[in-house]
Amino acid sequence: MKVRESGMPEESMWDRFFDPSAALALLGLTPETPSAVDLGCGYGTFSIPAARIISGPVHGFDIEPEMVRATLAKAQGAGLTNVKVYLRDFAVEGTGLPDASVGYVMLFNILHAEEPDLLLREARRILAPGGIAAVMHWASDRPTPRGPSMEIRPRPEDCRAWMILAGFLTDAPFDLLPHHFGILGRNG
């Protein structure tokens, strides 16, 4: 099931919206993180920098074949052997990864899905105890140069409430300026 309003712009435009390494640092990814999952990896915008930060595997999932190819090509071009990319409808089928098998899950610009609870439950299922679910989403209180329509953007308090319902221990939302907010949830 493709997430509503999830079409990707040209990569050159997309790359202008993020400083991936800085965002990942603010969102709790450290060299000590044993493994990571990027749900909706797109162009590899965050998968590739994550693979440079951690030595363990980074699993990227996307429903679009061209996004899987783009991420895989970037990983190969950078000589990164710890990136594994999957063409999979993870919103319907899950990731297929074992329970409690990863240390970090990226839920970036994806919780405007029709059923965000499915994504959060899958993230919690695959996270090891103490693992981190990192949420980043387009701001809902101001226009941004990209992102889903304002009426379907989740507010930070919505995302936090969904995370709590999924069983995460969460910190307060914070700004990831200029266009996003972030929330960290720990699999307690």
Write the pLDDT tens digit of every residue in 99-113. Answer: 999 999 999 999 999
Give pLDDT tens digits for 115-135: 999 999 999 999 999 999 999
Cα–Cα distance measured from residue 111 to residue 178, given in angstroms and rounded to the nearest whole number: 19
Q: Say what the pLDDT of residue 177 is.
A: 86
pLDDT at residue 14 greater than cutoff 70 = no
pLDDT band at 8 (very low <50, low <70, confident <90, very high): low
Please tell me whether the overall predicted TM-score, pTM, comes out greater than 0.85 for this model: yes
Mean pLDDT to the nearest integer, 4-9: 60
> Looking at per-residue confidence, does 59 or 9 come out higher?
59
pLDDT band at 1 (very low <50, low <70, confident <90, very high): low
Q: Say what the pLDDT of residue 144 is.
A: 87
Mean pLDDT highest for which of 6-15, 17-26, 67-76? 67-76
Helix, strand, or coil here: 110? coil
pLDDT band at 54 (very low <50, low <70, confident <90, very high): very high
Give pLDDT tens digits for 79-97: 999 999 999 999 999 999 9
130-160: buried (b, 16+ CB within 10 Å) or exposed (e) per residue? ebbbbbbbbbbeeeeeebbeeeebbebebbb
Give pLDDT tens digits for 129-162: 999 999 999 999 998 888 898 999 999 999 999 9
Cα–Cα distance measured from residue 125 to residue 37, given in angstroms and rounded to the nearest whole number: 12
Domain 11-145+154-187 is of which CATH architecture? 3-Layer(aba) Sandwich (3.40)
User: Where along the chain do its domains lie?
Assistant: 11-145+154-187
| Cβ atoms 71, 83 nearer than 8 A | yes
